[in-house]
């Protein structure tokens, strides 16, 4: 049984830093995405910190990282550090969302100046 969202992510995606636990649960991506969608910011951040501690590494798919950052930013819109982290991830994983990354960085700047 998984005791955290990070454990479920590790079972589903693997982990560069820790062994994938032996588990007999059914691992379907849509179950994980549903749990991620309704998780609190701390649980989501734990997934990102444990499975992708350097932003550019980890086996967590980029689309899951993007979704995780989006959900955290929605829950904590006044956190400049989180906004910058989300922007950095978007810039590192492709040009498709550079405009969104720039907006997040601008919001972080405004929060820090304000």
Q: What is the mean pLDDT of residues 96-114?
A: 95
Q: What is the mean pLDDT of residues 72-86?
A: 97
Mean pLDDT estimate for the chain:
90
Residue 1 banded pLDDT, cuts 50, 70, 90:
low
- pLDDT tens, 58-72? 889 999 999 999 999
What is the 3-class SS of 21-90, one letter each residue? CCCCCCCCHHHHHHHHHCCCHHHHHHHHHHHCCCCCCCCCCHHHHHHHHHHHHHHCCCCHHHHHHHHHHH
Question: Is 80 exceeded by the pLDDT of residue 29?
Answer: yes
Question: Is 90 exceeded by the pLDDT of residue 17?
Answer: no
pLDDT number for residue 19: 75
pLDDT number for residue 24: 73
């Amino acid at each position: 049984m998984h005791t955290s969202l990070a454990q479920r992510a590790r079972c589903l995606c693997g982990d560069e830093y820790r062994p994938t636990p032996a588990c007999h649960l059914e691992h379907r991506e849509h179950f994980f995405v549903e749990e991620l969608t309704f998780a609190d910011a701390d649980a989501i951040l734990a997934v990102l910190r444990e499975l992708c501690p350097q932003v550019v590494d980890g086996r967590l798919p980029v689309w899951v990282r993007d979704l995780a950052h989006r959900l955290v930013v929605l829950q904590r819109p006044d956190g400049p550090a989180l906004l910058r982290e989300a922007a950095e991830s978007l810039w590192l994983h492709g040009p498709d969302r550079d405009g969104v990354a720039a907006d997040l960085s601008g919001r972080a700047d405004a929060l820090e100046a304000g």
